[in-house]
Chain A
Amino acid sequence: MTDKIRFEHVTKIFKVRDTEQGKRALKEFTAVKDLNFSVKDGEFLTLVGPSGCGKSTLLDLLSGLTKPTSGRILLDGKEITGPGLDRGIVFQQYALFPWKTALGNIEFGLEAKGISKKERIELTRYYLSLVGLEGFEDRYPHELSGGMKQRVAIARSLAFNPDVLLMDEPFAALDAQTRETLQSELLRIWEKTKKTIIFITHGIDEAVYLGQRVAVMSTKPGSIKHMIDIPLDSRLNELDIRSHPEFVKARHQIWNLLHGNIYQAASI
């Protein structure tokens, strides 16, 4: 399999206020440093790490909304220079347009892609039912619960059929039941469509359950500390995947990595 995405020595530095040096003074803050990894075509990569370690920053860089301070990111061998409909993003904070209904929000990306009105409606309805929201077409975001908003956001990113899905803690606001449903739904979509998925999560269980590989990030500065392969076959066929020895092993390993990181951070 070929590399779909390649990070080459990617560093992102933000300019932040330095109050110690005066009101106008700026200092540099390294959000992520020297990221070097690649994601294969059709791979499902999950990303875990402590809060503030640069997960969302990594996703922003990949989406083309921000540019790396140094290094470059390749998508299909070409350097990413800006956003594109080949990548679909589910933001950590939903980011739905409050003046558009659920239907209108999902249509937005389809319209940007130049799909005809009739086809747009059909696709929108299909994806709404996929995330279990049929009958909620005409609701405005403020009339939806947090989890429902999140599901609309997921449907929106799926609807315009991007090659790569970038998801920033998309299931964080959901109840356990809905989360499990959507997790297996996402796996099903992934197996069917062979999309490349990069999925950020705080849940170790979720990371191991969804990812073929789990990238464990550490903080100060943000970098990928370990890549853990999860040698499990299709999760959907296994009845109790979470008690599979490989699953338990991987979860334990990641737990240790993340907690080692906390002790390390505390000792600084």
Chain B
Amino acid sequence: MSNTEKVIAVPIERRQQIHFSFHWLQKLVKQTAVIILLLLIWETVPRIGLVDAAFFPAFSDVVKSWWAMLVSGELFAHFTASIVRSLTGFILALLIAIPLGLLIGWYPLAKDLLNPILEIFRNTAALALLPVFMLLLGIGETSKIAIVLFACTWPVLLNTIAAVRNVDPLLIKSARSMNISSFKLFIKVILPASVPTIFTGIRMAGTGAILVLIAAEMVGAKEGLGYLITYSQYNFQIPEMYAGIITIALLGLLINQGLSVLERKFSKWKQPVQ
């Protein structure tokens, strides 16, 4: 009896193992296949003359100039300028929007007073205000940090307000039944329950920060990745321009990944979505 069981059991186990490793490999292939394919197309299309290599240089040429700029330190200077601006604006926005959002979400009066203003600003595209920021604050650091700050504030603010409003009433009831003060209720229940929704806003702000910053740097700046792109274009340094674009993509990826890690750390109690 037990003999037959074994005979049956072994192949099933083995099949599962093979299946598992295949699955892992499949995942890796799936995740990188499209990227590799795109890079291959990028490499060949200019080489076989389908597009003008002067406007669309092959990927390897772009990598070459990217490397040269990295070694010369030029890229690093632009990268630093951009990341300092976006982080400063971003962090200032968090420092303003989270406490303000908690306040507005918690006090109905604050919401009634501020709601009309919020409605107006949330629907104003930050980039539309770029000229105003430049006129008022010049083309120096202040205007760039200010526009990032402005763009990042709204998603964080609105998500924070929504988070506070949408805390499960049952949890509030449960905490109140243990006779805790309003202040404790806020610190121990409202705040932790709000974290995931606030983080959604922070993620949105992270994406927005890069977007408006690059746009602002393209319009008026003396350094930064946005400036690098427009400057290279004017001077017909096309591989350098593409190198700048790739760097921006990497910067975006970096910020997004960083925020993901933070988010996971803060919401590890959340049920993972399939």
Contacts and interface: CB of A to CB of B under 8 A. Distances in A.
Interface of A: 63-65, 82-85, 87, 89, 91, 93, 95-100, 108-109, 112, 140-142, 160
Contacts of B180: 112
Interface in B179-202: 179-180, 184, 188-189, 192-193, 195
Interface residues of B, number: 20
Nearest to A113: B178
* Chain A interface main SS type: loop
Given A109-B178, A112-B180, A99 B173 contact: no
B274 interface: no
Interface of B: 170-171, 173-180, 184, 188-189, 192-193, 195, 268-271
A88 to B, nearest CB: 8
A255 to B, nearest CB: 32
Closest 3 pairs between A and B when the two form their complex, measured CB to CB: A95-B174, A142-B271, A99-B269
A112 B192 contact: no
A112 B176 CA distance: 10
Nearest to B169: A95
Contacts of B269: 98-100, 140-142
Contacts, number: 56
A98 B178 CA distance: 17
A200 to B, nearest CB: 15
12 contacts: A63-B177, A83-B177, A89-B174, A97-B171, A97-B174, A97-B193, A99-B192, A99-B193, A99-B269, A100-B192, A109-B178, A112-B184
A65 B173 contact: yes
A238 to B, nearest CB: 35
A85 B270 contact: no
A140 B176 CA distance: 21
Contacts of B170: 91, 93, 95
A65 B189 contact: no
Contacts of A83: 176-179
Contacts of B271: 98, 142
